[in-house]
Amino acid sequence: MPNAATARLAYGGDYNPEQWPEEVWHEDVALMREAGVTLVSLGIFSWARLEPREGEFDFAWLDRVIELLHAAGIGVDLATPTVVPPAWFYRAHPEALPVSREGVRWEFGSRGAICHSSPAYQRAAARITRALGERYGRHPAVEMWHVHNEYGVPVLECYCDTSAADFRRWLRDTYGTLDALNAAWGTAFWGQAYGEWSEIQPPRAAPTTTNPAQRLDFARFASDSALANFRRERDILHELSPGVPVTTNFMVSPTQCDTIDYWAWGREVDIVTNDHYLVAEDDRNHINLSMAADLTRSVGGGKPWLLLEHSTSAVNWQPRGIAKRPGEMARNSLAHVARGSEGAMFFQWRASRAGAEKFHSAMVPHAGTDSRIWREAVDLGAHLGALAGVRGTRTAADVAMVWDWQSWWAQKLEWRPSEDLDTRERAEAFYAALFDRHFTVDFAHPEADLTAHPLAVVPALYLTTARAGENLRRYVEAGGTLVVSYFSGIVDEHDAVHPGPHPGALRDVLGLTVEEFQPLRAGRTVTLDGAAGPLTGDVWAETLRPAGAETVWSYADGPAAGGPAITRHRLGDGTAWYVSCRLGADGLDAVLAAAGADAGLAPRDGLPRDLELVRRDGEGGRYLFAINHADADASFDLPAGTADGAAELLAGAPLTGGRLTVPAGAVRVVRLGG
Ligand code: GLA
């Protein structure tokens, strides 16, 4: 954990001093102290500067930067710069540039152009990592290691011949025999049987759609091959820098990276760290932020994690660089902290003058320190200082949401029953519905134990292994309440349909079968009738056959008119709901209200819609974060029995009668008493 010695929340950002003359470094460090910066990520893009020619190192400048920071009491999250091999490397090893599916070899001149299977890249990355570890591994300023940068973006998959050979090795390790591979990939279809390993290629561009099991395995292979490179660097650093945590910055938000299986990666880092950028155009983009933060915490098993990058204001890579409103940066930072982050870090410390990201906001903007952004950065440093006590506490969640990157990859492949099926969209819609009910979400792998949560939702799980199906059935039998949305439980890990009627892996738990999918024409809707009132669906409908489940809403019109639309199945001590069409926010809210009642979750009615309330509890105390995203003040009662001795930590706000008012756009954090 960074800052272990000083018990501070981490505050700072990516620091790129090599872009500036040395006199600016002194100003930087003075300003960092003014803002309360505790940690900076250093050297992420410095390979060309650290190793200007192969095997020739220049550490003198980095020595000076680290000493300056150390003397000012600022910790270093030291990077291995292996996301940007220098120009000399690519001239010597052009084969290490990645090749696209269409056979285009990407050129040097941006960043992240890496074939993860390239032995030359692996050797060079290990050499610079070892050199850094030997020089700084025991330096007292180094509080954390930052391996690489955002594995998975901008490109992960490489289709070159070296990757092809590596893919074949991965397949041999996975399947053992060609017979097993042919069976798993269903190569009897379209005459694709392989008689020799050497005949297998990556799923390169082909005349029409490629074998989906082959594509799915290639996606798994790509995530694994980058992970092998992470592990190599991590192990070198563990050897040379004992006790210092090693991380790599994730981008868990499905809006931002879709190539990495973070369930697998979360087990490999010493502390999970994440980068998150707002979807600037979205008026309620704080919901996507909360979802990313909850997912980040979950891939780390619920332990505290660290937000390693977000922005003080605009980003430069979205269609419009929309500036954050006053107070928004603090709301964003503290929402991450509420959901388990041990601090708030930014890209980047000082806005660049040159290069691709010069229009990206920073803690020190082009406008300098006489600016709103700087003043808010200083205020945020003070706020984080006041919240040191939350370190080590854990976010308390109410509901589990099942999410699986591999299922998402499989569902996104071509030739599905409707191009309107969208795993990410459903996950975001369910998450927003839970957010609006003021429930905090833990994400879970489909095979993980869900029993800590009374309610579990499955927004879209096209690929459901038999084990996952059993896991969900056991969860319900043991008393859980499950809500499953359409096109889940359909295929196994090889994208083969489970035997028998759909949804093969979930028939038992849901108490029904799907006789026929009924995707809707573009723009069409269906009406659902039920005792709790009519609902509207779109995109999808199904002809359902109950086998134990009761009908709660039925189709009033559309292709499945007269049949069940939303069902409820009592099984063992629990209940499983099934939703067979795409519901909007109102429909999801109605189903979640009913399922929440089954689960015994007390509704949090009467709270303002955009008042985000999140708890962190632990030995350090019990903390309630109240973040008001609305333009009007919001008031609420503290939880029963917590008002005595409670204190508000950011503004010293009064807790009159156990009630707290959060001004429009503000954040309050209460250490609960009682
Ligand atoms: C990513 C990268 C940073 C920077 C930011 C800009 O998170 O890690 O180097 O490019 O995006 O938003």
Residue whose CA lies nearest to ligand 1 atom number 11: 347
Ligand 1 atom nearest 309 alpha carbon: 7
Is the minimum distance from the CB of 362 to ligand 1 under 6 angstroms?
no
- Residue 586, both tokens: 């109102």
Cα distance between residue 493 and residue 594, in whole Å: 32
**CA 463 – ligand 1 centroid, Å:** 32
For residue 498, tell me if it sits in a domain: yes
Cα dihedral 352, 252, 440, 443 in deg (nearest 10): -170
Cα distance between residue 597 and residue 618, in whole Å: 28
Closest CA to 310 of 284, 269, 338, 279: 279
518 plus 624 within the same structural domain = no
Is the minimum distance from the CB of 374 to ligand 1 under 6 angstroms?
no
For residue 537, tell me if it sits in a domain: yes
360 plus 455 within the same structural domain = no
In sequence order, what DSSP letters do the residues of 145-211 get, joined into one string? EEESS-TTSS-----SHHHHHHHHHHHHHHHSSHHHHHHHHTTTGGG---SSGGG-------SS---
547 plus 651 within the same structural domain = no
pLDDT at 6: 56
For residue 60, tell me if it sits in a domain: no
Residue whose CA lies nearest to ligand 1 atom number 12: 315
Task: Using the 3D structure, point to which of 599, 619, 637 is the last residue of a domain.
Answer: 599
The distance of Cα 210 from the centroid of its chain, to the nearest Å, equals 28
Contact yes or no for 430/591 (Cβ under 8 A): no
For residue 111, tell me if it sits in a domain: no
Given the structure tokens 């990077």, which residue do they identify? 79
Closest CA to 43 of 15, 8, 5, 71: 15
Is the minimum distance from the CB of 475 to ligand 1 under 6 angstroms?
no
* Intervals of the chain under pLDDT 70: 1-6
Is the minimum distance from the CB of 473 to ligand 1 under 6 angstroms?
no
Rounded to 5 degrees, φ, ψ at 526 are -125, 150
404 plus 314 within the same structural domain = no
What is the residue type of 301? G
Ligand 1 site-directed mutation target among 347, 358, 360, most atoms within 8 Å of CB: 347
541 plus 582 within the same structural domain = yes
For residue 6, tell me if it sits in a domain: no
On the 0-12 / 13-18 / 19+ scale of CB atoms within 10 A, 511 is buried
For residue 271, tell me if it sits in a domain: yes
Whether 150 is catalytic is yes
Is the minimum distance from the CB of 347 to ligand 1 under 6 angstroms?
yes
Is the minimum distance from the CB of 310 to ligand 1 under 6 angstroms?
no
Cα distance between residue 332 and residue 320, in whole Å: 19
Is the minimum distance from the CB of 308 to ligand 1 under 6 angstroms?
no
Residue-number span of the structural domain to which 522 is assigned: 399-599
467 plus 542 within the same structural domain = yes
358 plus 409 within the same structural domain = no
Contact yes or no for 374/386 (Cβ under 8 A): no
β-pair type (535-538, 564-571): unpaired
For residue 148, tell me if it sits in a domain: no
- Residue 352, both tokens: 């660049």
587 plus 627 within the same structural domain = no
Q: Per-residue pLDDT tens for 8-46?
A: 999 999 999 999 999 999 999 999 999 999 999 999 999
| Other beta carbons less than 10 A from residue 652's beta carbon | 9
Listed in order, strand segments (DSSP E) in 486-541 are 512-517, 525-530, 535-538
Q: Which of 157, 233, 309, 328 is catalytic?
A: 309
- Residue 664, both tokens: 């429009």
Q: Which of 51, 143, 150, 233 is catalytic?
A: 150
Residue whose CA lies nearest to ligand 1 atom number 3: 347
**CA 347 – ligand 1 centroid, Å:** 6
| Number of separate domains in the chain | 3
419 plus 513 within the same structural domain = yes
Ligand 1 atom nearest 311 alpha carbon: 12
Ligand 1 atom nearest 275 alpha carbon: 7
Q: Which domain CATH number covers 591? A: 3.40.50.880
Whether 67 is catalytic is no
Q: Which domain CATH number covers 643? A: 2.60.40.1180
Task: Using the 3D structure, point to which of 337, 368, 390 is the last residue of a domain.
Answer: 390
310 plus 376 within the same structural domain = yes
375 plus 440 within the same structural domain = no
For residue 85, tell me if it sits in a domain: no
Task: Using the 3D structure, point to which of 357, 390, 423 is the last residue of a domain.
Answer: 390
Contact yes or no for 158/219 (Cβ under 8 A): no
- Residue 104, both tokens: 């285009």
Q: Which domain CATH number covers 383? A: 3.20.20.80
516 beta partners = 543
- On whether the pTM is more than 0.85, the answer is yes
Residue whose CA lies nearest to ligand 1 atom number 5: 347
Q: Per-residue pLDDT tens for 532-590?
A: 999 999 999 999 999 999 999 999 999 999 999 999 999 999 999 999 999 999 999 99
352 plus 477 within the same structural domain = no
Cα distance between residue 305 and residue 559, in whole Å: 47
Which run of H or E residues covers position 91?
helix 87-92
